[in-house]
Structure 1
């Protein structure tokens, strides 16, 4: 190193002391002031300094301010909370704005045990795949193994990823989409790519998959990539083929780390599943599950947990998820609405019977019937919209809409399909009837209001999912009239993704001025992409989805990790008077529910949709009456389709069996809670738990004269009443006025979880440490670095030494890296022997003083301890720090012990350590 200094060294520059930080360039030096935080980092060129940068020591000054026990304990907590370069075993723990569940650490440990991490994380909807991938990313960044990354995801998930990385992991990434790319590239030098200029990116798959961009991205792609919704990159559709070609090119670099995320890794398509696994390792494409060695290798790269796996057995993670109560809500049609549905169905059957035996014409008639009946069953508004439209006779456009299959390049299609039938007097009469029905009372909407009324009284905040835009607007207007005091909004595919997100966010502001309850009416454009658990706790399926996984996706927006309500409700509405509702329940949803109860998994529709269509048509025909009572032209169609119901039942049995096999193959059993939990507990011990962070903030705000105000499940921090200097610091983190703090996860809407990484915690901790090190900083606090008092905690005179330890971590890998690790420690010394450390010593420091010592006695005890300090630093304290370095090295290497060729870590202590505080404890009365 040209500068002659290494990470962890102390130097003096520009009339103050600094800690040397890791930096990629050897000709400059990165520094953080001893009394500052990470945001105070500077980079200096020693050749440009008028006074040379010199080595320095951190000695306890002769005029250190004297303090009392309570403030000494506060300083110790602040010291621990200011450290961001965690010593271990998880270096990232200090950067997290949340408390991960134990099961969420499993993918992280799996990644650390691979020399080149490549994982397929296939956990259920709502378990926290984003968190699991973010944990891996944050840890590898803090270990110096990742300098840049890209998250590849569908366009509607880009902003969510940017927000999650910022709010949970403290990572500022830029969104790269068709709308932002040109702006980001503007002004860049010709030789610089977007991805070299912005090392942290979240990229829209649909933007980057185009051939002209794909090749450029492959050349500039970072060595760490996360792919969300990875199953959407392996199908036969042209868009999916382009995505697969993009990813297949990226994995050709054997050193590139890849984390693939999907809740539906295997939907019955073995070929697609093999292609997905090939992105981890080309040899996995064979799907040779009969080979024990194959299964063993795959288990190191594949993790799949269902909700049922985590709330039962060894994990017992009930507290991570709310209880889920599902109910059905049948409603009756009025005479006029039932007559309308039957007349539409009779008309459709007439078209079917006239289609003749020609397969294409018959299939088109089937699709037209199903599409129209979906709209009729949804609402009179949707029925009228469909009847008034004309579309081309293309079944490939109708089938995805009928079965709720999203296109690869767009969000869920929620605009009503038009009819494929030729206009005739009968069709025009149906249009007129639908138009009249719009002014009649709607029994379905009335049933919804009846279902919601008792829930609203209990404080529920429901999301109503509709299939079509016209229905959503119809329902929104009806609910606004029925519940005038509530905030009622709608979100449909007519809004852009940004507009949808803004409308949901705006409900919080409107909620604060009108009511503490809200109702959102949405189409399936919101069933993926925007998490709603902070605002809503109830899901109503106003329209049945014809794809079982869509119901799961809808409920997964609310029933997921981070839901503050203890109970989540879902309600499925249907009418026994409706032939289409009955057919869908019999052919699709009831069968899927049977499989879910047997396996704990919601399965998608079988890939082959022909039998599904036939079975639905047969079910609707037979619901009009027994086959021998049907009109002659219907009877043959019903008989022809009769076997299709049996075919569908066989398909469902195959799906159920495949799912059982899949669970047996991929159940994640290689790690148990007792292996994972102790590792995280070590990190909490070193850094402080969320409870300890809360205790610190409460005590510190009292010291500043602004105690926290309890508010139900939250605390209010009135930061506007703090000193101007602190207010200015907090304003930089957008903390102003009264800040709402959650004391437990999940955090209620409008609040943030109070953790060690929260800006309020970090700012207060840094301010207290600065006040102790610099007598000109917040002198009114009186936070000093020396003291003496009597206490019941000890039986013999004891010196407590508050230390800041620094270690040089060397990562021995393909490219050797030198990192800085820091740790706060308290040790208790009697005579020349360390008798307490860690939590025991911390407990002694927190034991309240039994009395005040006379100034002359106090000063004598402090002077004697100060005189003995040099010998202690070269003796027992030096030995203690060296042992900590050995323990730290073992912790780091143990986490990677299963990787074989993974990087090795060596740890060197920086001696002597920084003495932050020196306190003498004398035996006192109990």
Structure 2
């Protein structure tokens, strides 16, 4: 007869004891060793075992070492910190390597209120959308809701996602890109896709959007999908965005599929694109009936959008989450040679536009090419020379995207110098004799080698910042400029590690170069906009210099957002915007774009992108450039080059953008949850499991116990892993720790260190080793961790027993489907005269109270034996009642969390909690009142 085991039952099989875990099959047992960790889980079929699988019992040992007071407290902490299947409503809390902020829990609570989560998270840059999505994903995994998922993101974000999920959430994923897919598909069965073989994937949108791949992915796609940069998937034009949208539409059509979409720019003025984005949540949202109260209430269940100001002013920022942002403008003057070169290029470009013909397309292409060349001239002589020598392109849309710094499909081309306008090439002056163009090239080459007033201004800006200890990133628009600037700064700052990161490097090379810089104390990075997205710089750098003005204001936000974001360890970050006071090129951009966008940002708290219709922008920039020129030419005033209405139309577009943003914030502000409703629930869960402070106290005590105490260094705490006993050292090396591990005891962690949390490998390994050494002394015989003990203390006035318990519960989640989960909790119970006198932290304080003296061996043995004889009655009485009370309290906690967002959704899933009796008695200690 086969015995049926439920999650939490104790089982004896293969000569040892196990805890039964939830299993998807009645014929298969999933078991975790009673004295082991989650890494040692096995699957076995009882019918195939040589010896029968039987129920087991867990008893205190009748012999073995007796625990001293310090060891008992250490064992208590080890039990709490080793548990990975928390019983509280936030099961994900046990697996996080960071301490989430209260505001980051709001999307998680919203998701918990939905049978199938469908969310659009549109928080500002740097708030932590990746963390918010990761919290939902981790929770759904730990609740047993999913075992497969996919993250869809632009190709340059794939590696960042794989690292974030691993480092912050302990989730291993497989990156699926154009370069990795063929390797992953090798050896698969004909009927199997790589998504069948790899349940956890991070997928490049550009790889998967192609029709032949899209259909196959839609068939094999998991029921939990995260989409990053979702706004880049809903353009209304044909092409790449349409392919991405077709893919997402196919995925969203399955109502049982969870869909978490992330974007910092959900509504950029394109109403149709915004409607398509909302329709992915629910087709009915495409109507955008924002004046309908019922519509807005329904949408609010799925849409969260917060500015940094909302968090800082709304009571969410109870600790310093974001650094202070110190911004400034840094104007400088051109010298006469540079001014003359700018004027000559403008003259040349105006001539090109004049000769472009009467066709609308030809004239517009000439204008875009003109602006592109002027951008290079304003950037550096090196970029100007490169552009002047580059063969012209007839790809009008590509030139337009380059001019206005749009996010394109080809991220590696974001910093290439653009082509010459309207077909003018180097070959043309060589064969036909174009002295004007030849002269411009010669001038650019000469200026590249001469004194550069812009570079001198940069050095003047950097020196005081560097003297304050700042670690700057200098953002340039073009590769040639970045290389030019980096070469000069290496000469000026010879003691600094000066590196250039541009699109000439692969994404892996960029990431490796940035990480390597974190090892140097004096560092200075020169980068193009290939780094404005995709690689977070907040642990390595704390200042941003806009060497080149971006012509799309959101680029400035993206650049600064690499360092000014959640996780920045510096209390203050700096940013500075450079521009030439006497440059018509910089002046036009400031007047038409930058100043207008900044005014809107100050009014609404949001940086808005350029209007999608670029015609008025182009006209306004050309008109302003001509008007701001230092040299007057009557011919300019008669050329019919641009629309007279350009600047007026731009003013109108900016007014519309500001009004739309005000309306958007009024409609979608997330006010349904308050900090006081969110934070206490998470704090309750972390108290039960042990938070970072508990982990740090435990690690310090454990390392000292093992004769390898932590060492406080000026900028980090050193853990001397190499000094530990061989069994522990080998375990830690297997988890990637070094001989000396650099730890941070506070968040955010600085470069080259790791935050010491409860999920850090050092904490987890030490806790598991101590617990294993106590439960199975043969596994680590040198530890001598006793589970019984007795000592006198002034903390009690009567004889008190402290029982260290591992409670087990069966959690049943009732929703569209029903899930049975095992949950565990560490509990300390202090008992005197047959009644519980303290639990939790109060009982922990009693256990940690210093012993006043040693007992004689015979007295200690007598006390330990007496406690053992009293234990059975206590287990059936007050301890069993305590376990049932905890089950009832946990059920109430689960219910309350789901009600915390009562106004946001329909009927949430329900959780019932059943205790598994008897609990495991990990330790039993007798406290004897000290006689004064």
CA distance in structure 1 between the aligned counterparts of 2:319 and 2:815, rounded to whole angstroms: 40
CA distance in structure 1 between the aligned counterparts of 2:63 and 2:668, rounded to whole angstroms: 64
1:295 Cα deviation after fit: 0.4
Is 1:219 the counterpart of 2:225? The answer is no
- Report the 3-state secondary structure (helix = DSSP H, G, I; strand = E; otherwise coil) of the residue aligned with 2:757: coil
Judged with a 3 Å threshold, the aligned counterparts in structure 2 of structure 1 residues 45 and 110 are, in CA distance, closer, same or farther, namely same
Q: Which residue of 1 aligns with 2:541?
A: 536
Q: Which residue of 1 aligns with 2:531?
A: 526
Alpha-carbon displacement from aligned partner over 1:157-207 (angstroms, at most 9, x marks no partner)? 111111111111111110111111111111111222211111111111111
Say if 1:621 and 1:638, in contact at 8 Å, map to a contact too.
Answer: no
- Report the 3-state secondary structure (helix = DSSP H, G, I; strand = E; otherwise coil) of the residue aligned with 2:636: helix
Q: Which residue of 1 aligns with 2:230?
A: 230
CA distance in structure 1 between the aligned counterparts of 2:319 and 2:923, rounded to whole angstroms: 43
CA distance in structure 1 between the aligned counterparts of 2:544 and 2:555, rounded to whole angstroms: 12
CA distance in structure 1 between the aligned counterparts of 2:356 and 2:759, rounded to whole angstroms: 67
1:21 Cα deviation after fit: 1.5
Aligned counterparts, 1:42-191, within 5 A: 42-191=42-191
CA distance in structure 2 between the aligned counterparts of 1:47 and 1:480, rounded to whole angstroms: 71
Judged with a 3 Å threshold, the aligned counterparts in structure 2 of structure 1 residues 100 and 347 are, in CA distance, closer, same or farther, namely same
Aligned counterparts, 1:2-17, within 5 A: 4-17=4-17
Alpha-carbon displacement from aligned partner over 1:486-528 (angstroms, at most 9, x marks no partner)? 111111112222222222223235x2xxxx1211111111111
CA distance in structure 2 between the aligned counterparts of 1:100 and 1:664, rounded to whole angstroms: 27
Decide which of 581, 600, 608 is 2:605's aligned counterpart: 600
Q: Which residue of 2 aligns with 1:402?
A: 403
Unaligned runs of 5+ in 2: none
1:635 Cα deviation after fit: 0.8
Q: Which residue of 1 aligns with 2:485?
A: 475
CA RMSD of aligned residues (A): 1.7
Say if 1:771 and 1:783, in contact at 8 Å, map to a contact too.
Answer: yes
Alpha-carbon displacement from aligned partner over 1:221-241 (angstroms, at most 9, x marks no partner)? 101000000000100241111
CA distance in structure 1 between the aligned counterparts of 2:641 and 2:911, rounded to whole angstroms: 73
Q: Which residue of 2 aligns with 1:505?
A: 515
CA distance in structure 1 between the aligned counterparts of 2:46 and 2:421, rounded to whole angstroms: 77
Say if 2:113 and 2:907, in contact at 8 Å, map to a contact too.
Answer: no
Is 1:31 the counterpart of 2:31? The answer is yes
Q: Which residue of 2 aligns with 1:378?
A: 379
Say if 1:353 and 1:634, in contact at 8 Å, map to a contact too.
Answer: no
Judged with a 3 Å threshold, the aligned counterparts in structure 2 of structure 1 residues 391 and 912 are, in CA distance, closer, same or farther, namely same
CA distance in structure 1 between the aligned counterparts of 2:721 and 2:705, rounded to whole angstroms: 13
Decide which of 765, 775, 799 is 2:777's aligned counterpart: 775
Say if 1:622 and 1:638, in contact at 8 Å, map to a contact too.
Answer: no
- Report the 3-state secondary structure (helix = DSSP H, G, I; strand = E; otherwise coil) of the residue aligned with 1:913: strand
Say if 1:850 and 1:925, in contact at 8 Å, map to a contact too.
Answer: no
- Report the 3-state secondary structure (helix = DSSP H, G, I; strand = E; otherwise coil) of the residue aligned with 1:603: coil
CA distance in structure 2 between the aligned counterparts of 1:836 and 1:82, rounded to whole angstroms: 23
Alpha-carbon displacement from aligned partner over 1:722-754 (angstroms, at most 9, x marks no partner)? 111111100110112100011011111111110
1:438 Cα deviation after fit: 1.6
1:638 Cα deviation after fit: 8.0
Judged with a 3 Å threshold, the aligned counterparts in structure 2 of structure 1 residues 318 and 306 are, in CA distance, closer, same or farther, namely farther
1:640 Cα deviation after fit: 6.1
Say if 1:406 and 1:412, in contact at 8 Å, map to a contact too.
Answer: no
Decide which of 581, 588, 595 is 2:586's aligned counterpart: 581
Say if 2:11 and 2:54, in contact at 8 Å, map to a contact too.
Answer: yes
Is 1:920 the counterpart of 2:926? The answer is yes
Is 1:904 the counterpart of 2:914? The answer is no
Is 1:433 the counterpart of 2:452? The answer is no
Unaligned runs of 5+ in 1: none
CA distance in structure 2 between the aligned counterparts of 1:852 and 1:254, rounded to whole angstroms: 66
Is 1:287 the counterpart of 2:288? The answer is yes
1:767 Cα deviation after fit: 1.2
Q: Which residue of 2 aligns with 1:247?
A: 248
Alpha-carbon displacement from aligned partner over 1:344-399 (angstroms, at most 9, x marks no partner)? 11222233344465533432332222111100010111101111123144432311
- Report the 3-state secondary structure (helix = DSSP H, G, I; strand = E; otherwise coil) of the residue aligned with 1:616: helix
CA distance in structure 2 between the aligned counterparts of 1:632 and 1:362, rounded to whole angstroms: 21
TM-score (norm 1): 0.97
Q: Which residue of 1 aligns with 2:337?
A: 336
TM-score (norm 2): 0.96
Judged with a 3 Å threshold, the aligned counterparts in structure 2 of structure 1 residues 356 and 43 are, in CA distance, closer, same or farther, namely closer
- Report the 3-state secondary structure (helix = DSSP H, G, I; strand = E; otherwise coil) of the residue aligned with 1:910: strand
CA distance in structure 1 between the aligned counterparts of 2:898 and 2:269, rounded to whole angstroms: 35
- Report the 3-state secondary structure (helix = DSSP H, G, I; strand = E; otherwise coil) of the residue aligned with 1:807: strand
Decide which of 459, 464, 483 is 1:454's aligned counterpart: 464
Say if 2:600 and 2:607, in contact at 8 Å, map to a contact too.
Answer: yes
Decide which of 832, 835, 850 is 2:834's aligned counterpart: 832
- Report the 3-state secondary structure (helix = DSSP H, G, I; strand = E; otherwise coil) of the residue aligned with 2:261: strand
Aligned counterparts, 1:412-427, within 5 A: 413-421=414-422, 422=424, 423=429, 424-427=434-437
Alpha-carbon displacement from aligned partner over 1:644-695 (angstroms, at most 9, x marks no partner)? 2222112111111111111111110010001101110111110111111000
Q: Which residue of 2 aligns with 1:636?
A: 638
Say if 1:376 and 1:383, in contact at 8 Å, map to a contact too.
Answer: yes
Aligned counterparts, 1:561-572, within 5 A: 561-572=566-577
1:772 Cα deviation after fit: 1.5
